[in-house]
Amino acid sequence: MGSRRILLVDDSEILRMTTAALLEDAGYQVIEAASLTQARASLAGELAAAVVDLHLHDGLGSSLLAELRQTHPRAAFILLTGTAEPLPDFQGDLYLVKGDDPEALIARIREAIERRSR
């Protein structure tokens, strides 16, 4: 397996901290960002994935996808949202609903990373 670094972008501090702890317990190094601006500043270096909240204070998390594909073409792009209704033109690797079972969340993120790294 390549990089174990995950960029986690969520403007909810409690959700970001909880998700970061789950990912770290699963063996990933987590870079946290609370906004698109912070996320863009954190794109340097290798990434296995970006786990990004859909609705952020400074825009839609999905807007980060094009930049991620440009700078990290093998990284998985995982969108987190509070609604089960997927975006019609979503081109990322995984669409997750917040509040899912933590073990299932980690398993699905791991699978998306493995699929993308092949």
Homologous superfamily of 11-83 in CATH? Response regulator (3.40.50.2300)
What are 64-108's pLDDT values in tens digits?
A: 988 998 999 999 999 998 877 767 788 899 989 888 899 999 999
Q: How far apart are CA 6 and CA 3, in angstroms?
A: 8
Alpha-carbon distance values, 49 to 33, 70, 90 (Å): 13, 13, 16
Q: How far apart are CA 90 and CA 3, in angstroms?
A: 24
**The model's pTM:** 0.93
* pLDDT, average across residues 28-42: 96
Q: How confident is the model at residue 112 (pLDDT cuts 50, 70, 90)?
A: very high
